[in-house]
Structure 1
Amino acid sequence: MPVSPKRVYNWYVALVAAGCMVMMGYDASVFNSVQVSPHWVAYFDTPSTYMIGLINTTYTVGGVVSGWFLAGPLADNYGRRWGMGIGCVLTIIATFIQTFAPSHKLGVFIFGRVLIGFGLGFSIAAGPVYISEVTQSSIRGQVMAFWQLFYSVGSFVAYWINYATSKHRANLGEWDWKMVVIFQLLLPAVICVQLPFLPESPRWFIQRHNDVDGARAALSRLREEDEVEDELLMIREAVEYEKEAMWSGKKAYIGLFRNASIFKRLMLVFVINAGQQLSGQGTLNSYSSTIYAKVFNSVDTINLINALNATFAIIFTLNATWTVDRFGRKFLFIVGSLGMALCTLLIAVVGLETPTVNGTKSHPVGIAIAFLAFLFIFFYKPSWGATTWIYTAEVFPLNVRAQACGMATQMQGIANIIFQQFFPTFYANCGL
């Protein structure tokens, strides 16, 4: 059966929005990549473990502030595309600030990290809402699986660029890390170019402006001709119900806490999103280079392992495209939790119970730890990686979805603030 051109276009529109997650995946891997560069360390006067943690923490704080308080109202008042677009623009500006921060001025680099976190807070709050409102229900789960897949794509690009520049460190000098940072502006620039030509959310037209013609025009670009009027009617009825329930607009935040059913869902996704990072994923993604530095004595080896890990992460995330609807969200959460728990336990046991010689582990022990880290990603990506985003984007009514997604996804940031600030100091003194 031939694929409808409208269906192909629907996928294209949704995947452009999902590109926001490439930005997040890239940025989450950038600092992990550059912090082991001797040139970066010298450029900023050998930051302490406390400062390394602070750099990651401030990035997360920027995302929490925008995600909790600004992303939802922006997406509701000006449209989902504006939310993604402003996030992309801030990312581009922040990329330049980080790349061209003056030597010995770590504060300028940190400011760039704050700003990029601020921008990504807008993008990753508006992106899932836009996808949920423009895609058909039959493909929504698969598209949101690609949302997490694109995070892995971002990490993949960052780590392989870092590996390539590290191989030519002597010739590149300071640009061995600056090239890794500046490449981050490429994708947000591509997204910004495409956003003006994508349809705005049909639901936003009705909810914000009661613009039936605008919603119909947007749906006409996304749906078959015989589906437009039926879906338009469903959207209008849903918006009318929300107005009667007084949950729309500024009162959407109130509705999150005053309605018992929605509040229960909000608390549940808060726990799930925090749990995504408490699983150890955030620590492994931000500090794998630091961890491997006590296992391998070659920076090139560390960079290669990170790049291969990001490569396999893409393959592992693809499992979500066929498992999420076949086995269900709850099943994946349970299996993923058990698998990740076993892997992290074994990583600690192998690391603590094997001898350290000249500051590093033996080669077989290093391979074993790297293998367990890869196995952790195998369990994480299709479960707590992809399914967390899918579940968060689909459990709320449309009238509070932008606010709820913005707040819930930044629970990942709050959990990360705790771990990213203190993990470098903890790890330096844990005795491994």
Structure 2
Amino acid sequence: MQSRSSSSDKNTHAQPETLEHAVGLAFQPNDNTLEIAAKEEKAVGTLQAIKVYRHAFLWCLFCGIGAILWGYDVQISSGLLSTPLFRHDFGYEYKGEDVIPARWQSAFNSVGSIGGMFGGVAVGWIADRIGRRASIAVASLISIIAIFIQFFCPPHQNALLLVGKLINGLSLGMYISSAAAYCAEISPVMLRGITTGSVNLWIWIFPVILLVGLPFAPESPWYLARKGYVERARAVLTRLGIQDVDLHLRQIQETIVLEDHYARETTYWQCFKNNNRRRTVIALMVFVLQQIVGVIFVLGYSTYFFQLAGFATSESFKLGVGVTAIGVVGNLTALYSVNKFGRRPLFLLGMIGCTAVNFGIGFSSISDSKAARWAEAIFTLIFGLIYQGSIGPLGYVIFSEVSSAKLRSKTVGIGICVNSLCGMYLVNPDEANLKGKVGYIFGGLGLLGSIWTFFFIPETKNRTVDELDALFEAKVSSRRFGKITVDR
């Protein structure tokens, strides 16, 4: 590609430069900027990277706070279903006990996912126009409105509660998409797995805190460079503790040129065209795989499931808390193992492990004995440890890394949409009444998902953006991603 000279530097508040100027330091013959930058990033160990790039690391953790709401909403939904007073206020009497009607339970459980679908797609468009920080701020304002509606909803006003959950789902989809894209773009390669994986950890009510802190958070340097605010991007890199700012700014600019060479459009349709199709399918499938192993069934409704299995309300609550606690432990271990063992093997082992546990739950449900109920409970706890130590956080890592940087916000948004769409299941006593036998269904689906993972999930560990672009453009097999040396 013919080299082009860059325009003179502009101050922080200047108007955006044209695309030609924004990527003025484009490729030159024999130029090895990307190789030098990649070696510099990979030369730093994980702990050293946290210390050196502590500002980037902390801001990633801060912007992941919004993800707490996603997990909080799921946990509260299952917890409320197991609360006698809630079932009395929003349900009806069935065989001597209060039960939420199946149609309302399905609506309460799915409406947030529906809102999340629209939120995930919408934020891809919003973030590309107003930035990552501003899109999180919009999500925070929407969330506050939704929480207000739900908090002051009177008893038996199921429709009003449903509206509140729908609006909140919209903000949740925006939170997850924005946080994942933000963490992927401001983190150096050695911290990318940890910061994007921590989004899942936060899933385990802080919109006001986000609004207060967002004005102080740095914008994504990738977003600024792509919009032409080169000096602002340089200032952000300096603030994040990047050692060689000029080198990394040039890396960003040249990667933008590379991606513009592959595709000049940034529409949602572009995510499904040509080589981007494969990247988008992988990004979507990691969330489909999360759902088909039964995460909503086993974890999201664990407290309610324990009650259906025959445990008392107090025991069910304690077991539900145990599932959450052990999940946090699993997620913390994943933040170490994601860099130690890589994305592909950890995700594959997680799929196999969760599949086996689902079959265990299914077999345990054959008997109505107390020992069988405890076996189901133990399997549920094991599932929480395996899932949160692998598939849960790794899903956010992989889908953030495989998407093109140019299309990341849109690909991430579509991924959250698919994640929400898949999160709808039925275990209510006045309908199918499958209870633990649903484990057979998720076990079978998980087995198919494990096979798909083996053939199609690539290893993205320690790969810079331009390396991933090159590997996908060369149509390298997913099983060989971790073995190929990129020759620039």
TM-score normalized by the length of structure 2? 0.74
Displacement of 1:429 in angstroms is 2.9
Spell out the pairing of 1:184-195 with structure 2 (5 A cutoff). 184=205, 187-195=206-214
Q: 1:244, CA displacement in angstroms?
A: 4.4
* Residues 233-312 of structure 1 aligned to structure 2 (within 5 Å): 233-248=250-265, 251-259=266-274, 261-312=275-326
| Higher RCO, Cα 8 Å, sep 6+ | 1
Percent of aligned pairs with the same residue? 23
Residues 148, 386 of structure 1: 8 Å contact kept: yes
| Residue 3 to residue 276, structure 1, CA distance change in 2 (3 Å) | closer
Does residue 220 in structure 1 map to residue 238 in structure 2?
A: yes
SS state at 2:53 partner: helix
Could you tell me how far 1:4 is from its partner in structure 2?
A: 8.0
Alignment of 1:339-350 (within 5 A): 339-350=353-364
Consecutive unaligned residues in structure 2, runs of 5 or more: 1-46, 93-99, 437-488
Q: Which residue is equivalent to 1:429? A: 433
> Does residue 374 of the first structure (1) align with residue 381 of the second (2)?
yes
Cα displacement (A) at 1:430:
3.0
RMSD between superposed Cα atoms in Å? 2.1
Say whether residues 1:66 and 2:131 are aligned partners: no
Report how far residue 391 of structure 1 moved. 0.4
- 1:274 shift after superposition: 0.8
Asked if the contact 1:6–1:221 (Cα under 8 Å) also holds between the matched residues in 2, the reply is no
| Separation in 1, partners of 2:435, 2:216 | 55
Higher mean alpha-carbon deviation, 111-120 vs 367-376, is at 367-376
The code of the aligned residue for 2:327 comes to A
Q: CA deviation at 1:125?
A: 0.7
Contact 2:181 2:409 in 1 (8 A): yes
Counterpart selection for 1:54 from 107, 127, 138: 107
Give the Cα–Cα distance (whole angstroms) in 2 for the partners of residues 141 and 310 of structure 1.
22
Q: After superposition, what is the alpha-carbon deviation per residue over 1:245-274, rounded to whole angstroms, capped at 9, x for unaligned?
A: 4435xx332321222x21012112222211
Amino acid in the other structure paired with 2:251: M
Instruction: Please tell me the residue identity of whatever aligns with 1:416.
Output: G
* Alpha-carbon spacing, 1:206–1:431, altered in 2? closer, same or farther (3 Å): closer
Which residue of the partner structure matches residue 211 of structure 1?
229
For residues 298-324 of structure 1, the C-alpha deviation after alignment (integer angstroms, 9 at most, x for no partner) is 211111111111111111111212222
Alignment of 1:35-50 (within 5 A): 35-46=81-92, 47-50=100-103
Q: Secondary structure at the match of 2:398?
A: helix
* In 2, Cα distance between equivalents of 1:313 and 1:264: 31
SS of residue in 1 equivalent to 2:293? helix
Counterpart of 1:104, as a letter, is H
Is the Cα–Cα contact under 8 Å of residues 308 and 435 in structure 2 kept in the other structure? no
2:408 to 375, 397, 401: 401
Per-residue Cα deviation, 1:327-375 (whole angstroms, up to 9, x for no partner)? 22221122112211111111111111x23xxxxx52x333221111011
Amino acid at match of 2:376: I
2:149 corresponds to which of 64, 79, 97 = 97
The separation in 2 between residues aligned to 1:246 and 1:321, in whole angstroms, is 33
Q: In structure 1, what residue type is equivalent to 2:334?
A: A
Given residue 419 of structure 2, which amino acid in structure 1 is its aligned partner?
Answer: Q
**Is contact 1:85–1:123 with CA below 8 Å preserved after alignment?**
no
Q: CA deviation at 1:31?
A: 0.8
Aligned residues of 2:123 and 2:178 also touching (Cα < 8 A): yes
CA separation in 2, counterparts of 1:394 and 1:49? 39
Q: Provide Cα deviations, 1:20-78, integer angstroms capped at 9, x if missing partner.
A: 2212111111111111212212222433022101111111101111212x110101100
Aligned match for 2:128, one of 68, 71, 76: 76
Shift of 1:214: 1.1
Closer/same/farther in 2, CA of residues 431 and 320 from structure 1, 3 Å limit: closer
Q: Give TM-score scaled by structure 1 length.
A: 0.84
* Higher gyration radius (CA): 2
CA contact (8 A) 2:139 2:172 kept: yes
The code of the aligned residue for 1:23 comes to L
Moved more, 406-415 or 54-63: 406-415
Change (3 A) 1:214 1:377: same
Residue 232 (str. 1) matches residue 246 (str. 2): no
Encode CA deviations 1:124-144: one digit per residue, 9 max, x unaligned: 111111111111111111222
Among candidates 332, 335, 338, match of residue 321 of structure 1:
335
Structure 1 unaligned spans of 5+ = 153-183, 356-360
Instruction: Please give the alpha-carbon distance, in whole angstroms, between the structure 2 residues aligned to 1:41 and 1:215.
Output: 52
